[in-house]
Structure 1
Amino acid sequence: MTLYERTTKLSKQRGYSLKNLAIKAGLAENSIYDWKKSTPKADNLQKVADVLHVSTDYLLGRTDDMNPAQSNNELSGFDEEIMMAFDGKPIPDEDKEKLLEFARFLRSQRGK
């Protein structure tokens, strides 16, 4: 799977269009479409990886582990602003808040 294909697939899973993903990453609206033909600059790749909450190695296809640094599944550093989706569809805001409350509760219980 190419960088462009992996980015496209993951952005759909996270509920972003490529245009919205690029904007959120601070890139030009159509810049990710250029990844079909050329490799992006490292800083642009990192910006997109940060928005998608994955490693650049994952986007480049060097690993199938989305975020090796957090592969232990600990909640200690989870980003409460993460875009959540289920089955490729965005989760409504009210449900996101409920899920985040539950994650905060679990995190607090682990600390006891």
Structure 2
Amino acid sequence: MSITAERIKKLRKQKQLTQQGLADIIESSRDTIANYENDRNKSTLAMLTLIADALDTTVDYLQGKTDSPLKTPTVDDNGDEPPLTEGQKQVAYFIDPSATPEEIEQIKKLVEIAKLSKRRL
């Protein structure tokens, strides 16, 4: 079983959610969740993002890129924010591949507001 499948199942159970409960949160089906957990299907980045949000974790954790399930970003010794993850870069690119640095900052602020209010864009 893949690390992604294991981690989805583990976090879902920690949150005391059934497969149907998780499916309801992300507006999907129980079969879809079961297929991800049993490695019958691979999820898209968009679906992984929805699952990560529902399980209060990050896509990087679900994919095994980090061992920390916490959503809070780390800050380096200089107090700077960490660089964008690959998933965040892909989202920014799909929003507007020609965005200027100022526009990207505005997009990042909108995403932060959405995360704080627990709303989906």
The normalised TM-score by structure 2 is 0.54
Provide the identity percentage.
25
Quote the residue 2:3 is aligned against.
2
Tell me how far apart the structure 2 counterparts of residues 79 and 21 of structure 1 sit (CA, whole Å): 21
Give the structure 2 partner of residue 64 of structure 1.
Answer: 67
Q: What's the CA shift string for 1:80-108, capped at 9, x where partnerless?
A: 98xxxxxxxxxxxxxxxxxxxxxxxxxxx
Query: Which fold has the larger relative contact order, with Cα–Cα distance below 8 Å and residues 6 or more apart in sequence?
Result: 1
- The equivalent position to 1:38 in structure 2, one of 41, 44, 56, is 41
Please report the RMSD computed on the Cα atoms of aligned residues, expressed in angstroms.
2.5
The count of aligned residue pairs is: 77
For structure 1, which segment, 49-58 or 33-42, has the greater mean C-alpha deviation from structure 2 after superposition?
Answer: 33-42
- What does the per-residue CA deviation read over 1:56-92, in whole Å, with 9 as the maximum and x for residues that have no partner? 01011111111353457xxxx99798xxxxxxxxxxx
- For 2:43, the aligned partner's letter is P
Alpha-carbon distance between aligned partners in 2 of 1:46 and 1:63, rounded to the nearest angstrom? 15
Structure 2, gaps ≥5 residues long:
76-112
Structure 1: segments with no counterpart, 5+ residues: 82-112
Alignment-derived partner of residue 50 in structure 2 = 47
